[in-house]
A and B are shown apart, each in its own frame.
Chain A
Amino acid sequence: MKVSGAISRRKMLKGRGLQVGAGVAAALVAVPVLVILSSLFKPTQDIWGHLLENVLPRIFVNTVSLVIGVSFGTLILGVALGWLTGACDFRGRRIFSWALLLPLAIPTYVMAFVYLGLFDFAGPLQSALGDMFPRSNPRLPNIQSATGVIIVMTLALYPYVYLLARSAFMTQGLTSIEAARSLGASPVGAFFRVVLPMARPWIVGGLMLVVMETLADFGAVSIFNFDTFTTAIYKSWFGFFSLTAAAQLSSILVFMVLIVALLEQRLRRQQRYTGGGGSTPSMARIQLSGVKAWAAVVFCLLVLLTAFAVPCLQLIVWSADSFGMEFGTRYLGLVGRTLFLALAAALITCSTALLLAYARRYHPEPFTFGLTRVATIGYALPGTVLAVGIFIPVVFTDNFISQIVRSVFGYDLKPLLQGTVFIMLIAYLVRFTAAGFNSVDSAMQRIAPGIDDASTLLGAKGLALLRRVHLPILKSGILTGLTLVFVDVMKEMPITLMTRPFGWDTLAVKIFEFTSEGEWERAALPAVAIILTGLFPVILLTRHNEKQFAT
């Protein structure tokens, strides 16, 4: 290895610039995490005592019950739907298999406010019910409850479990079932003794993603007024103005999240071993017919309606109602700023991802692998935590600089970094590097180690090598990375809310503001824009899956 690639490597990249870059990226992630973790050992203030007594028990119970409830819900929905579309065959199966991913385009907070609006006292469901039974005028159940938020988040997050469970069931094929049945197991027995255990690493992997999203969720729970760690962090900073309390709450949340992230990474290693036979994934399916086929269609349709069609319809109706009032230069300004931020963040993030991928390629050493691991762990950090973790060192740096300026030049300097777009972009970078890196690096894996030497021998080296060989291979990966980060930033709420400079509202922030006033109709138009862009990665995902399984 070393000998064969030595010449081209030396000519292409002098020294260790790539590793230094990867080090910087890793440091950007490590600093906020360390700041947060170290705050646990800081002397406590009065506010912390108050939190510990009145807030912490409640948010702990809330967060844990939310995580358990949403995990349970997404597990049932995801596995059932994954089994139906991954291993069975019935009329409409192909359409459902990608349509059931569509809810991925709807952020949890949009799902949350749509359902709150639907079940609102003045909402369409209640008035329809009142019209139907004018005498008794029955009341809809109050969904602003733990159960309500669990159901809403389940509808928004089940695709993670569904996607992984389905691909597990598809790669398994039917051989394992046949093997079990030839050994005397009944069809149901085969499902529970073989199919489900074999798919377990994938299913649990999907669940871990759901758990991380649930722990990190800020928008949906704050719309439901359901206090969890994330809302408590926000409130102790913006309500009590205590950055320390916010950091201390964050440190607890970080511990929870890191445990989940570690479990998830371990599971991903297990998945490699438990691949099924997978000889004829598309041919062998269980044919459903009659009542079973109808039940499957009804079930899939029901999920699709509640998780995608109904929310979208409601949003369209609201947007149409409020269009005259909402659409205008202010809205366009909002869209423009959101797009600018998303694009800038996507470019910065993917450049960093590219740098990390090249660092791994040209310095395949444990040290580089460690740096990239650290640099991509940011996806696990909840936005609220990250905002706090970045804000503290920024304030520290600002104070440090202004102290120096005051002592040397003798006048007061305005804070340099606080409340700048630059810091906001750094925060996005930390949070979304993994999204960009995974796409870019999987493309990088396709450039075989010998390709550089081969093209050097054929006369393409240096920039020509990059342009003629690397870029064409990496292009689709980079584009995927750009799209994913772009959309993630567009719908990002807590980081934007907590680090934006004055006047830098985005669509998501506007939704937060409208919904905290209960103005569902006005929040609809920004939500539609977010969902429309959110459809792009879903399309990318389905295309990728189709290529993978050729069904």
Chain B
Amino acid sequence: MHPLLEVKNISSSYGNKLAINDVSVNLEKGEIGCLLGPSGCGKTTLLRTIAGFKDIVSGDILIEGRRVAAEAFSVSPEERGVGMVFQDYALFPHLNVQENVAFGLKHMKRSEKKRRVGDLLSVIGLEQVKHKYPHELSGGEQQRIALARSLAPRPRLLLLDEPFSNLDVNMRELLSMEVRKIIKQQNTTGLVVTHNQHEAFAMADKIGVISCGRMLQWDSAYNLYHRPCGSMVASFVGEGVLLPGRVLDDHLVECGLAVLKGRFSSSCPVGAMTDILIRPEDVVHEDESPLRAVVVHKTFRGPNIIYTLCLSSGDAVLALFPSHYRHEIGEEIGIRPEVKDIVLFKRDHEELRRPQEVNPKSMLHNESECHYNV
């Protein structure tokens, strides 16, 4: 049995510039995949090559084992059996909701068409607007109509290009769960492009992190967060800092925070210089701890507060404490590292980093640039 979607080592370019470079993706039937990456990283281009709107210069794309694209070969979009939800929804303004949803239904009796449209509208809960025109609908409604329209012809694969980017935050979370439910319920396979990791976590079975046209890691959400394959992925998924450190032993590594003991994510020779990923939840509050740190910044997040702490080494770490632990900026507090699985990356350049001052740039942020300093 073939996987539903196989993207094998494809590259695609705009002029001389490679937009995607040697990218592979695999999706089993019924799975929802997510392409995550900063804007301009090539994730939308990847989606468009799968849909058939963009040619590839090398590699293969197979849908249900049938080749749809290769070098100098392309099955036209309408014959791929692939549905797409566009970023701006691309609803047809001259057609009402019902007609929009029915657009892709062919070789069907009128009554069958009507039933299919009615079914889909009830699935998305918008039967009451079926005679309205797109401009009379809210953003969220338009989004759901676009979803229903793309599902109507029962595509083998549904592509969603930043489907929630035009909606407000509350709407996004609600809809991303709903869309997942609908895709699963319609028994189709989905591939979603997003730059928002919360959306990706909420929807996807598998997530691919893309940067500068390359697929960095294609994995489950858990693995992306806890076993990132490189500092780029670590920086794009979740929060945290990378502390410079030195390997002392098979299970021991020394860094500005402490000497940490635990299982290494990748084996490193003794004495090697590494970057160690410290997530905010790896730092625990403990008043009596001899390890002291100064609060330099804090962000209230409701159930907890995220503190930026300056260590005696000069390094900064993020720490997530329950929100009833209230500390003022400038206050010195006791902390304890709690790291069982140590995520470390060998440094390519053996430069010795000076104990750095607290510099927001050394923090890892979600909205990382394409060329994050690695």
Name A's B-contacting residues (CB within 8 A). Answer: 175-176, 178-186, 193-194, 197-198, 200, 273-277, 279
Contact = CB atoms under 8 A, between A and B. Distances in A.
A501 B143 CA distance: 65
Interface stretch (B75-83, B278-286, B300-308): B75-83
Contacts of B84: 178-179, 182
Interface stretch (B89-97, B115-123, B231-239): B89-97
Contacts of B225: none
A interface SS class: helix
A182 B93 contact: no
B133 A273 contact: yes
Interface in B59-112: 76-78, 82-84, 86-88, 90-95, 103-104, 106
Given A186-B78, A277-B88, A178 B93 contact: no
A182 B51 contact: yes
A273 B90 contact: no
A179 B149 CA distance: 10
A184 B153 contact: yes
Given A181-B77, A182-B78, A198-B93, A273 B135 contact: yes
A180 B103 contact: yes
Q: Which of B92, B149, B159: most chain A CB closer than 10 A?
A: B92
A274 B94 contact: yes
The 5 closest A-B pairs by CB, nearest first: A183-B104, A179-B90, A182-B84, A274-B93, A273-B135
Nearest to A196: B94
Contacts of A179: 84, 86, 90-92
A275 B93 contact: yes
A423 B77 CA distance: 64
B150 interface: yes
B372 interface: no
Contacts of A198: 92-94
Contacts of B78: 181-186
Contacts of A178: 51, 53, 77, 84, 86, 90
Contact of A200 (B82, B83, B91, B94): B94
Contacts of B159: 182
Contacts of B53: 178, 181
Interface of B: 51-53, 76-78, 82-84, 86-88, 90-95, 103-104, 106, 133, 135, 149-150, 152-153, 159
A209 to B, nearest CB: 21
Given A183-B103, A183-B104, A275-B93, 15 more contacts: A178-B77, A179-B86, A180-B103, A181-B53, A181-B76, A182-B78, A182-B84, A182-B159, A183-B149, A184-B78, A184-B153, A186-B78, A273-B93, A274-B94, A279-B87
B90 A183 contact: no
Contact of B90 (A176, A185, A186): A176
A197 B52 CA distance: 24
A182 B83 contact: yes
Nearest to B155: A182
Contacts of B87: 279
A197 B135 CA distance: 16
Nearest to A174: B53
19 contacts: A175-B86, A175-B88, A178-B86, A179-B91, A181-B76, A181-B78, A182-B51, A182-B78, A182-B159, A184-B106, A184-B153, A185-B78, A186-B76, A193-B103, A197-B92, A198-B93, A198-B94, A274-B93, A276-B93
A275 B94 CA distance: 10
Contacts of B152: 183
B89 to A, nearest CB: 8
Nearest to A273: B135
Contacts of A194: 92
B150 A183 contact: yes
A180 B102 CA distance: 11
Contacts of B106: 184
Nearest to B80: A182
A273 B84 CA distance: 23
Nearest to B76: A181
Contact of B94 (A181, A183, A197): A197
Contact of A183 (B52, B133, B135, B153): B153
Contacts of A277: 86, 88, 90
Nearest to B152: A183
A198 B51 CA distance: 23
Nearest to B90: A179
B82 A182 contact: yes
A266 to B, nearest CB: 15
Contacts of A273: 93, 133, 135
A190 B88 CA distance: 18
Contacts of A180: 92, 103
Contacts of A184: 78, 104, 106, 153
Nearest to B14: A283
A215 B226 CA distance: 75
Contacts of B90: 175-176, 178-179, 277
A181 B53 CA distance: 9
A185 to B, nearest CB: 6
Contacts of B83: 182-183
A181 B74 CA distance: 14
Q: Which of B77, B84, B135, B150: most chain A CB closer than 10 A?
A: B77
A279 B88 contact: yes
A113 B313 CA distance: 91
Contacts of B76: 181, 186
Q: Which of A180, A184, A193, A277: most chain B CB closer than 10 A?
A: A184
Contacts of A183: 78, 83, 103-104, 149-150, 152-153
